[in-house]
Structure 1
């Protein structure tokens, strides 16, 4: 199947980086990543919106990166679109994730412009949870199960 582009979307939850309000630092990080991956930057911009979130956008010769950063929620919505069939947007995604240090990540990778069957076009979705968060979630589940058993026994 011939595709035109690859598209990665990611939700980064409970980001541990304290610089979520610093658009300049985030743009510097993105520019550095593009330079390391030898991707040509055409333009970039950032805006602080009234509703408490920041938008950053980078236009490259072969795609774009868009970030919506919600500092109060410690949440980042990431969008990487690369206009090549052999593109690897996850390389960009991994570098960006390492900057924000989220506890939980939901990633979707799409093949764009493919004209194959519906089965071939189904997106791949991955969810990752940081190890400490997994322990906390498991502990909370165990406590709920024990509490239910205790209530049922009474």
Structure 2
């Protein structure tokens, strides 16, 4: 696969409906996806053949760009650079959950987790991350969190 095209991946349907505001627990921000009530969507995103994986500022900006595009609320960002290879681990804590990363620049690989509840649209982070890190390939796995809770 030469990267992810959302239109070619129907499993990543961006249509969802917030749970009825009058329902019990109306402040928990659960959503309905394919007739299932869930806490949110958790995307496991692998960037292969990626660049700029030692650039802490770029990673923090990518977090901010994802938050804005997804319609989420940023609370704070924390990153750490590892020596000697310069790999970066980081997290953006959101009101809606989080975005996290671990990078392996020696392998041109980055792992991102994007988990959001409520009206946020985590799928919009995929294109931003692909572009920010010039990834040759993107692999995405979606997990619906909290079904049955």
More helix by share: 1
- The equivalent residue for 1:64 is 98
Shift of 1:32: 3.1
Contact 1:80 1:93 in 2 (8 A): no
Rounded to whole Å, the distance in 1 between the matches of 2:144 and 2:56 is 30
* In 1: Cα distance, 2:113 partner to 2:38 partner: 18
Question: Take 1:31 and 1:90, find their aligned partners in 2: how far apart are those partners?
Answer: 15
Contact persistence 2:62–2:128 (CA under 8 A): no
Return the alpha-carbon distance in structure 1 between the equivalents of residues 84 and 37 of structure 2. Answer: 40
Q: Residues of 2 paired with 1:41 and 1:113: CA distance?
A: 22
2:56 alignment counterpart? 23
Aligned-residue Cα RMSD (Å) equals 2.0
- Measured after TM superposition, the shift of residue 115 of structure 1 is 2.4
CA distance in 1, matches of 2:38, 2:69: 26
1:40 aligned partner: 73
Q: Work out whether 1:80 is the aligned partner of 2:114.
A: yes
Q: What are the residue-to-residue correspondences of 1:70-109 with 2, within 5 Å?
A: 70-84=104-118, 87-109=120-142
Q: Secondary structure at the match of 2:54?
A: coil
Contact 2:73 2:94 survives alignment (8 Å): yes
Checking the alignment, whether the CA contact within 8 Å between 2:69 and 2:125 is kept in structure 1 is: no
- Provide the rounded CA distance (Å) in 2 between the counterparts of 1:112 and 1:33: 20
Q: Does structure 1 residue 8 correspond to structure 2 residue 53?
A: no
> TM-score, with normalisation over the residues of structure 2?
0.67
Note the residue ranges of structure 1 that are not aligned, 5 or more in a row.
Answer: 117-154
Q: Which structure 2 residue ranges, 5 or more long, are not aligned?
A: 1-35
Q: What is the TM-score normalised by the length of structure 1? A: 0.65
